[in-house]
């Protein structure tokens, strides 16, 4: 299950339980909406309540990230899982964004808001 919020040119997504392909596609739609109407969005993925993910999510994430490698602002990943942290650092090779891993969602959101470009 995924919950998504738009805030100050950021897409904030929280995953609980199993992260499915339908969840990831909902995330993609929200990111593309923000990109189309407001420019490069900052992204926050809170994975602290994620129990697992399906293999098709991995392939879709690779495809989407490669297709949009220059389309994101900063990316914050919230997790306490070492494997997820390792995978996040590996994924940095495919995007031209600053990526940070946090253990606390409030700190991650504050970092993104600090790095949100001011319109004008």
**What is d(CA 117, CA 74) in angstroms, rounded to the nearest whole number?**
10
Residue that has been written with the tokens 């700190």 in this structure = 107
Tokens of 29: 């739609």
Q: Which CATH superfamily groups domain 2-114?
A: SpoIIaa-like domains (3.40.50.10600)
Distances (CA, A) of 64 to 24, 25, 28, 59, 103: 10, 10, 8, 9, 25
**What is d(CA 112, CA 116) in angstroms, rounded to the nearest whole number?**
6
- Give me the helices (H) in the chain, please: 21-38, 55-67, 82-91, 105-114
What is the pLDDT at residue 50? 92
Q: pTM for this one?
A: 0.87
Digits of tens for pLDDT over the chain (120 positions)? 999 999 988 999 999 999 999 999 999 999 999 999 999 999 999 999 999 888 899 889 889 988 999 999 999 999 988 777 666 666 665 678 888 899 999 999 999 988 876 554
């Amino acid at each position: 299950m995924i919950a998504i919020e738009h805030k100050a040119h950021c897409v904030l997504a929280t995953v609980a339980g199993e992260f499915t392909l339908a969840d990831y596609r909902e995330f993609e739609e929200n990111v593309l909406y923000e990109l189309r109407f407001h420019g490069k969005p900052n992204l926050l993925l809170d994975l602290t309540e994620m129990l697992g993910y399906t293999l098709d999510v991995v392939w879709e994430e690779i495809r989407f990230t490669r297709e949009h490698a220059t389309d994101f602002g900063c990316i914050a990943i919230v997790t306490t899982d070492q494997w997820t942290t390792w995978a996040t650092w590996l994924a940095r090779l495919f995007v031209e964004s600053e990526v940070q891993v946090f253990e606390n969602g409030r700190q991650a959101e504050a970092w993104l808001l600090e790095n949100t470009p001011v319109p004008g």
